[in-house]
Amino acid sequence: MFNVKREFNASTEHECLVIGLFNKPTKFEGVHGELDELFEGQLTELVKSGDISGKKKAISKIHTFNKIGAKRLVFVGLGKEKEASFETVREAFGKAFKSIKDAKLTEVAVLVDTFTSEQVEVSDAAHALSEALSLSTYEFEGYKQKSNEPKKEIESVLVYSTLAEEEEVSASLTVGYVYGKATNSARTLVNLPGNMLTATDMANYAKELGGKYSFEVEILEKEDMEKLGMGALLAVNQGSSEPPKMIVLKYQGKEEWNDVIGLVGKGITFDTGGYSIKPKDGIVGMKSDMGGAAAVLGAMEIIGELKPEQNVVAVIPSTDNMVSGTAFKPDDVITAMSGKTIEVLNTDAEGRLALADAVTYAKHHGANYLVDVATLTGGVIIALGNDTTGALTNNEALFEQVLEASYEAGEPIWRLPLFEKDKERVRSSKIADLNNSPGREGHAIMGGAFVGEFAEDTPWVHLDIAGTATTNKVSDLGPAGATGAMTRTLALLVERFEVNSK
């Protein structure tokens, strides 16, 4: 897919040559100046006339008329140089690659040095390039009859850079592409309809991932869960004809199994709400209720590819939440694996029940730090909208690392408060240890606080992606539909993790 060269030769033939351009005075310098000379100053004139623009994310396409080997120049506006960041460069690349794909071009060359600044080094620009390529050109083909017309994709990218060694640029390109492709894997899982992705299907996917990357794989069946007393996950599964699965993937990047990071992802493959059934408009789209599981599996794909020196256990509780004569009911009391009893007041608050047993089981496998990811509450959307993930924590140091990873990944999170009175509301049942639905007030906080009761004293961060797991908007980095939210954040957390969070 990627090749790197130090020296740019203008006579080399390319379908298109991609060039970054900051919004600055109308005079080409450096590599821009060299190209302008070959065009006898005409590029400068086109900038003056506005036909080539450096405004943020402006795309300007120029035919070369055989003045150089490339058939087209694609100028990508980067805005003000002092405001450049990894995120702005990545989005600019995304818009460019979408445009190139739409033009059905398959071979691309990029002058990556033109995308650098004081804030964005060439390694950052190379990572942004390859991540944007995979993210922006992603499509979920679905199940429509296929056209006979051959599909054209970008097949090769030649990257020119004089600012770094070829090995450094190649390494950054590889890492960025791995992050993007794994996010796409998570997107595809979330986009699959519930009848195409059951708990068994998800377990089989995890097995394939384990085989590819030599992870230790454990799949608990219903009988295993019954022996272990996983009454919370089993209650959610009661109404289903599909068997539940507790999926475990273990990656050992250190000699000793210690300082283990536990990644827990909610894997509800379809959520009717159970007897607390969702309205007709709210039930559509509930195939995405396993977005947390998809993020964890995507992160494990990155971990398998890049092999960080960390220990990770991924735990995914998976089932659908259905209505039937055997389904669990409001007013039921169930017992979780931890031994805590739970009064069920809302069967649509099922994700926190599945996570309860998964968090306990992650600790059983030695998790010293916990991050759970879940499409948990509609309340987080009311609080934060559709672009920001909600977070709760019991540990400042661990949260700071998650926050830093999310910032670097371009997946913003916002911390919600968690006070003793919030915990008291979760413990407000008169007949059980916990209440799974203390009321609508502070809904997102109550959902996270419930999960925190099972994390107990283990450093823990909860990420509610109910608003960010899917989008109705097309962006420069992908289509409408699943986003793969938190895949890159989790992987970056693992990659950069420092053992100081106790």
User: What is the Cα–Cα distance from 481 to 142, expressed in whole angstroms?
Assistant: 12
Q: Rg (Cα) of the chain, in Å, rounded?
A: 25
User: What is the Cα–Cα distance from 337 to 106, expressed in whole angstroms?
Assistant: 53
* H-only helix segments in 159-237: 166-191, 199-213, 222-228, 231-237
Q: Is 36 annotated as a binding residue?
A: no
Single-letter amino acid code for the residue at 287: K
Axis crossing angle, helix 291-306 with helix 166-191, rounded to the nearest 10 = 150
User: What is the Cα–Cα distance from 157 to 109, expressed in whole angstroms?
Assistant: 5
The answer to whether 144 is a known catalytic residue is no
Single-letter amino acid code for the residue at 62: I
Which helix (H) or strand (E) segment holds residue 320: the answer is strand 311-321
The answer to whether 488 is a known catalytic residue is no
Q: Is 266 annotated as a binding residue?
A: yes
Residues 6+ apart with CB under 8 A from 276: 330, 346, 347, 348, 349
Q: Is 350 annotated as a binding residue?
A: yes
Structure tokens at 428: 């407000």
Sign (positive or negative) of CA dihedral 154, 158, 161, 167: positive
Structure tokens at 402: 């998650």
Residue 226 neighbours by CB distance under 10 Å: 12
Nearest to 408 by CA among 303, 323, 495, 492: 492
Options 181, 352, 363, 423, the catalytic residue: 352
Q: Is 289 annotated as a binding residue?
A: yes
> 């669990």: which residue's tokens?
328
Structure tokens at 27: 């005079």
Structure tokens at 221: 């069946």
User: What is the Cα–Cα distance from 454 to 363, expressed in whole angstroms?
Assistant: 10
User: What is the Cα–Cα distance from 316 to 131, expressed in whole angstroms?
Assistant: 26
Structure tokens at 18: 């991609």
User: What is the Cα–Cα distance from 185 to 302, expressed in whole angstroms?
Assistant: 10
| Residues 458 and 367: beta-carbon distance below 8 Å | yes
Options 24, 55, 278, 427, the catalytic residue: 278
User: What is the Cα–Cα distance from 321 to 241, expressed in whole angstroms?
Assistant: 10
Dmax (CA) of the chain: 84
What are the C-alpha distances in Å from 313 to residues 3, 62, 206, 393, 396? Answer: 35, 51, 13, 19, 22
Structure tokens at 397: 């140091």
- Residue ranges at the known binding site: 266, 271, 289, 348, 350
- Residue ranges at the known binding site for Mn(2+): 266, 271, 289, 348, 350
Known catalytic residues are: 278, 352
